[in-house]
Amino acid sequence: MSTASKSPKDRRVALRGNDVIRLLQGGAFYVAQKKDIIDRLNVFPVPDGDTGTNLSLTLQSAVASLPVDEDHVGKVAALTAKGALLGARGNSGVIFSQLIWGWAKELEKKKVVTAQDWAGGMVKGVELAYSAVMKPVEGTILTVSKAAALAAQKAAKRGHSFDEVFMKAIEAGQEALARTPELLPILKEANVVDAGGQGYLFFLQGSYKALQGETWEDAGAVEFVEEDWQKRERFHQKIEEATHFTYCTEFIVRGQALPIQVLRHSLEKYGDSVLVVGDATVAKCHVHTDRPWLALEKGGLYGTLHEISISNMKDQRREKESLLVDKVSLAMIASAPSEGWAQLLRKQGVRAIVSGGSTCNPSAQDWVRAIEEAGTTFAILLPNHSNLILAARQAVQMIGADRALVVPTKNLASGLAAAFQFEPEKSIEDNMKAMSQGYEALRYAEITRAVRDVTIHGIEVKEGQLLGLYDHKVVASGTVMEEVIVQTIQQERDDWELISLYTGEGLEKQEIENVIAVLEEHFPDAEIEQFETGQPLYPYLIGLE
């Protein structure tokens, strides 16, 4: 059983194997939970760019073979290291596996582990990680892990508890992560911190939470380090020019007395991004090369080859650039919370969709990515939600007003009305004016359910009741759908000419027909149209003209 108490007042001096399992699983879980955040920090539009996914898969492999019950720390560490090494993916994953491997080497004979042992393992891991890379670069996961390890070692030598050692490591890691753009100019130009370093920090935070017996809450990532955005077109051009080789080649070599250093230097002759890590019996190899067969042949000289992976990085890059084949001069990009809305917007000429809405707010980087992949010289952005406008504008700051502008549509119906006015053969200025005017006369209503008791805008609402909003103001509540809808859209007038119903997920056909029948009764002169858009949380979104 674990000897570690969940009390924050407990000055833990030693952990046993089961405690270590819990910490490792906590760290791996937290990285998996945050992998999309880490992925959004990537600066490279080429293979090896899914840092969050790669780190998550690496750590999943590391903890997958851990037993349910093992009290010997050394055995737990050895199993973790082997799993990480064999499951490592991408540069960051391989480096992370070395951090784990060095840590495990330090603990391999330990039945229990003290805070000083743990910190010593972190330092050993950093040493191995640096040695695994032919040309270590500061401003990466190496920098963050080194700062965290040294802080942990310093705290442990002063007799601090496990809890305090982890806190010191996390604090130092956060400071180092914030400095990565100053150490690596390419990060500063892209306005991000290092993705691998963020992943490492998430791992420490998840492990610490497990140590405390806490649940995993959103720690947040430092996605951007400046408000004054640089243009990324020039940045991506530099990345493309720096990619000389075609094939990302990975494989495992198994054998006896494997010459790690010799193999590493041999592979360097064939390409770059060379990583060879492991021990005398198993080595994980990674290289970017134009001649993958030579890399495999060289590895085969020392042992048997396993888990061979060769991917054509240029093909993968072309897939992202496929829209450039039919590049247009002017196009719309809009957010949509469902496939139904995406289809409706595409029918109005929207070229690219950014997934997002009230339940999932896309970042500025999501908008930038959509702009870059849309195959257009200039993009008009339709946020279609009040909470998304700032991120869209931030994306314009990032990529430049000579590449995109925002029509600040606050809801989906407004976005649709704006898109209806779009004419690609006209100028940007004419389209911006027409699209802005196109939705100004539109009114908008939303029907949802309250998640708590509240009195707002003079309306008393109980949890679970239907809630009617008119132009983002609460105007009605109740238990009968038809009544709430009528009350909501009668707020300003009752002589609407067009009522557009956009129906959400989970509604039955009969329910919709009942609503339409009541609307026809209350608004006999209005044309009523209905679209199955399938948005979550809002049974009805309503456009009024």
Q: Is 140 exposed, middle or buried (0-12, 13-18, 19+ CB in 10 A)?
A: buried
pLDDT at 477 over 50: yes
**9 vs 372 pLDDT, higher one:** 372
Phi-psi region of 473 (alpha: psi -120 to 50; beta: other; left: phi over 0): beta
C-alpha distances (whole Å) from 119 to each of 139, 160, 205, 227 are 22, 11, 15, 36
- Per DSSP, 9 falls in state T
Report d(CA 335, CA 356) in Å as an integer.
6
**Could you tell me the CATH number of the domain that includes residue 148?**
1.25.40.340
Tell me: do 298 and 413 sit in the same domain.
no
Tell me: do 32 and 139 sit in the same domain.
yes
How do 247-254 and 271-278 pair as beta strands? unpaired
Q: Is residue 434 part of a domain?
A: yes
Q: Is 479 exposed, middle or buried (0-12, 13-18, 19+ CB in 10 A)?
A: exposed
Nearest alpha carbon to residue 24 among 92, 70, 90: 70
Report d(CA 208, CA 219) in Å as an integer.
12
Report d(CA 237, CA 106) in Å as an integer.
43
How do 404-406 and 350-355 pair as beta strands? unpaired
Tell me: do 93 and 222 sit in the same domain.
yes
User: What domain range includes position 143?
Assistant: 14-241
- Per DSSP, 494 falls in state S
Per-residue pLDDT reduced to its tens digit, 524-539: 999 999 999 988 888 9
pLDDT at 236 over 80: no
Report d(CA 107, CA 78) in Å as an integer.
8
Tell me: do 202 and 105 sit in the same domain.
yes
**Could you tell me the CATH number of the domain that includes residue 303?**
3.30.70
Tell me: do 345 and 298 sit in the same domain.
no
Report d(CA 27, CA 102) in Å as an integer.
17
Tell me: do 277 and 147 sit in the same domain.
no
Strands (E), 37-136: 113-114
**Could you tell me the CATH number of the domain that includes residue 381?**
3.40.50.510
Report d(CA 540, CA 507) in Å as an integer.
9
Report d(CA 419, CA 241) in Å as an integer.
37
SS3 277: strand
C-alpha 501: how far from its chain's center?
A: 33
Scanning 108-212, the segments in alpha helix (DSSP H) are: 115-132, 141-157, 162-183, 185-190, 195-212
Q: Is residue 4 part of a domain?
A: no
| Torsions phi, psi for 249 (to 5 deg) | -120, 125
Give, for 346, the enclosing helix (H) or strand (E).
helix 339-347
Per-residue pLDDT reduced to its tens digit, 353-365: 988 765 556 666 6
Is-above-0.75 flag for pTM? no
Q: Is residue 93 part of a domain?
A: yes
Report d(CA 496, CA 492) in Å as an integer.
10
**Could you tell me the CATH number of the domain that includes residue 449?**
3.30.1180
Neighbour order of strands in the sheet with 271-278? 271-278, 282-289, 247-254, 304-312
Scanning 376-505, the segments in alpha helix (DSSP H) are: 389-399, 412-420, 428-440, 481-489
Domain boundary among 275, 298, 314: 314
Average pLDDT over residues 494-513: 91
| Torsions phi, psi for 382 (to 5 deg) | -115, 100
Average pLDDT over residues 86-103: 80
Q: Is residue 254 part of a domain?
A: yes
Q: Is residue 217 part of a domain?
A: yes
Nearest alpha carbon to residue 387 among 467, 314, 472: 472
Tell me: do 290 and 357 sit in the same domain.
no
Q: What is the band of 45 on the pLDDT scale with cuts at 50, 70, 90?
A: very low
High-pLDDT (> 90) share of the chain, %: 42
Domain boundary among 256, 280, 314: 314
Q: Is residue 3 part of a domain?
A: no
Q: What is the band of 95 on the pLDDT scale with cuts at 50, 70, 90?
A: confident
SS3 535: coil
Q: Is residue 259 part of a domain?
A: yes
Tell me: do 400 and 510 sit in the same domain.
no
The structure tokens listed for 197 are: 């370093």
Tell me: do 41 and 141 sit in the same domain.
yes
Query: Cβ neighbours of residue 300 under 8 Å, at least 6 residues apart?
Result: 253
Q: What is the band of 321 on the pLDDT scale with cuts at 50, 70, 90?
A: low
How do 282-289 and 247-254 pair as beta strands? antiparallel
**50 vs 441 pLDDT, higher one:** 441
**351 vs 463 pLDDT, higher one:** 351
Tell me: do 118 and 57 sit in the same domain.
yes
**320 vs 160 pLDDT, higher one:** 160
Q: Is residue 49 part of a domain?
A: yes
Q: What is the band of 264 on the pLDDT scale with cuts at 50, 70, 90?
A: confident
Least confident of 131-140, 330-339, 451-460: 451-460
Per-residue pLDDT reduced to its tens digit, 406-435: 999 989 999 999 999 999 999 999 999 999
Domain count, the chain: 4
Tell me: do 227 and 293 sit in the same domain.
no
Tell me: do 367 and 449 sit in the same domain.
no
pLDDT at 48 over 50: no
Phi-psi region of 533 (alpha: psi -120 to 50; beta: other; left: phi over 0): alpha
Least confident of 107-121, 375-389, 450-464: 450-464
Q: What is the band of 227 on the pLDDT scale with cuts at 50, 70, 90?
A: very low
Bridge partners (DSSP) listed for residue 447: 468, 540
Domain boundary among 414, 440, 466: 440
- Per DSSP, 228 falls in state S
Average pLDDT over residues 364-393: 82
What are the CB-based long-range contacts (under 8 Å, 24+) for 258-267?
Answer: 258/282, 258/283, 258/302, 258/303, 259/302, 263/298, 263/299, 263/302, 264/134, 266/298, 267/295, 267/298, 267/299
Least confident of 41-55, 306-320, 376-390: 41-55
